[in-house]
Amino acid sequence: MTSKRKSWQTTLLYVFIVVLCVIILYPYFVMFITALKDKKEMYEIGHILPEVWRWSNFSDIWTAAPVLKYLTNSMVIAGGATLLAILCGIPAAYALARMRFKGKGIFMGAVIMSQMFSPVVLLVGIYRMMVNINLNDTILGLILLNAAFNQAFAIWLLRGTFMGISPEMEQAAKIDGCGTVKALIKVLLPMAAPGIITTLIFVFINAWNEYTIALTLISTDVFKPITVGINVFYGFNFIQWQYLFATSLFATIPVVVLFLAIEKHLVAGLTSGGVKG
Amino acid sequence: MKKKTLAMIQPYVWLLPSVILMVSMILIPIVSVFKISFSDVGRSGIVRGLNGVQNYLDIFAEPTFWHTLQNTVIWTVVVVGVSTVFGFVLAMVLNQEFKGRKFVRAVVIFPWATALIIQSVIWKYIINADYGSLNILLKKIGLIDGFVNWTKTAGSMFGWECWVGIFVTFPFVTFCVLSGLQSIDGSLYESASVDGASFWQKLFKITLPLVAPSLTVSTVLNIIYVFNSFPIVWTISKGAPADQTHTLVTYLYQLSFTDGKGGHAAAVSVIGFVILAFCASIYMILSLRGEEES
């Protein structure tokens, strides 16, 4: 390969990369500069950048709407769902990774199948059930639903993690007199910590970003998570774009940071836990 | 003897919390949706008893349903198809050594990590005809003279929705393929080069077969996600104009929660459910087969 050809390829590569990054970051750029514009500038069409940089938008949103309440709700919903999903998921994943029993194949099949049950397709049934058990319009209802719809992923990721760890250490612990539960907690879980953290963060992000169930079930303002709450800036005729985007930034940045932290582990877990052959 | 029975039921005890959670929150709604789809439901949501397949017949007689079904197929095939091809190419690029690779990988994470509803709202603002930032930008650069109405027709509206769908879907493919690419032994390529293999031969004979498992996972999961994706279409068009840009999930949402036709909505749910069950069973067979082999 001649060096001339190489430099030509490198140039092409960089052109592609730069164009791609510009396109991907464009919506975030728009979100950021619009969040900094003054209300009056919103419908003026002459400028890309704000004429006056309204940093105060970021402090105004907290009084313009109960944004702090929405964020707290999101935190409680996502945190609760994550905790519940992991507490139910660890024993199930452990049984699937370490034990032999009848019906294991059927259960694993059911777990995989449940990945396809998007709550949206079941919304009519979910709504009716939640009304019947008086959990519609409650944060507890959202915690239970988010935990359930993330069970499949949690079990799958955790099972992959457990299977990657040799059972010898636990067996040694059992010979030393530990019960199964104690061996799990003292020996396996610390070794599986990276996989568990990845699972935690992934379920948390899913629940944090969830929109459709919350939109359907929650009608009381003070119970809304942030994804539904931002709709207050989004009236039919009058949209307060600057507040909408300022709030959206607060809802987006933490999640992107978390995602960057687990990216490597997550993809490895997804593909190794999924189709292998 | 007692100890033996205890050991026999132990695995089921470990599964129990998970089973309770999934049965109560997933299985019961599934049963409920099926039951409602065969019931006569009043506007207020009261079930007046079974009415056989009447809901299905009503839905099948509705031109909007067939149009929606067609849209859903286009939406799923276009978004998943383009995302898969582009995501794959990008993974090949990102698998090479170059300055700034880490930065680009981080940037590609962004659309994946952002809530769909927020991504949808931003794009709705960008393409707005009266004050959208795309018009402002293009006018500043000098590519357009006056403001363009980007979503004049149902087709263009739906096209933009597909664009946003692709935008949020391809990163997942890229990262799945990247994880597959990184596990390929580099010496395979070296010996192929020694044997005089071309770029395309290496692509089809080495790369594609070895990343096929990762591509299968990402494609099947994306089909499920994209088929079920609600916020993009609901935020950008709500099915407008004239119910021409619905997909099954926005259509059933509108039937149930705007039009008060719970029975019809349940019938549409069941139809979507059957289509997905078909896709998922393919995935399940592939997964379990992979399990047995390993």
* Complex ipTM value: 0.86
pLDDT computed for residue A268 by the predictor: 67
| 8 Å CB contact between A247 and B118 | no
DSSP B98: -
Interchain CB distance below 8 Å, A121 and B269: yes
Domains delineated in chain A: 68-273 (1.10.3720.10)
Backbone angles phi, psi at A52, to 5 degrees: -115, 125
pTM of the model: 0.87
Calpha distance A85→A87 (Å, rounded) = 6
pLDDT computed for residue B287 by the predictor: 67
Position A79, amino acid: G
| 8 Å CB contact between B207 and B28 | no
pLDDT computed for residue A157 by the predictor: 86
Q: Which helix (H) or strand (E) holds B47?
A: strand B47-50
pLDDT computed for residue A276 by the predictor: 34
For residue B121, the Cα-to-chain-centroid distance in whole angstroms is 18
Interchain CB distance below 8 Å, B106 and A260: yes
Calpha distance B249→B161 (Å, rounded) = 14
Calpha distance A116→A122 (Å, rounded) = 11
CATH of domain B50-293: 1.10.3720.10
Q: How confident is the model over A250-277, as pLDDT tens digits? A: 889 888 888 888 877 766 666 654 433 2
Calpha distance A217→A138 (Å, rounded) = 8
pLDDT computed for residue A5 by the predictor: 63
pLDDT computed for residue A274 by the predictor: 43
For residue A236, the Cα-to-chain-centroid distance in whole angstroms is 29
Helix (H, G, I), strand (E, B) or coil at A172: helix
Residue ranges per structural domain of chain B = 50-293
**What dihedral do alpha carbons B56, B58, B59, B63 form, nearest 10°?**
150
Q: How confident is the model over B167-200, as pLDDT tens digits? A: 999 998 998 888 888 777 778 888 888 888 888 8
Is pLDDT of A34 > 90?
A: no
pLDDT computed for residue A275 by the predictor: 36
The radius of gyration of chain B's CA atoms, rounded to the nearest angstrom, is: 24
DSSP B217-230: HHHHHHHHHHHT--
CA neighbours closer than 13 Å in the CB half-sphere of residue B243: 17
pLDDT computed for residue A236 by the predictor: 61
The parts of chain B modelled with pLDDT lower than 70 are: 1-3, 287-294
Interface of A with B in 85-104 (CB under 8 A): 87-89, 91-92, 94-95, 99-101, 104
In B, which residues are within 8 Å of A148 by CB distance?
Answer: 21-22, 24-26
Average pLDDT value for residue range A4-12: 78
Distances (CA, A) of A270 to A193, B23, B218, B256: 17, 24, 9, 34
Interchain CB distance below 8 Å, A276 and B262: no
In A, which residues are within 8 Å of B220 by CB distance?
Answer: 275
Interchain CB distance below 8 Å, B131 and A45: yes
Write out the two tokens for A58: 């970021």
**Residue predicted with more confidence, B185 or A159:** A159
Write out the two tokens for A18: 């730069």
B75-94 burial, b at 16+ Cβ within 10 Å, e below that, comes to: bbebbbebbbebbbebbbbb
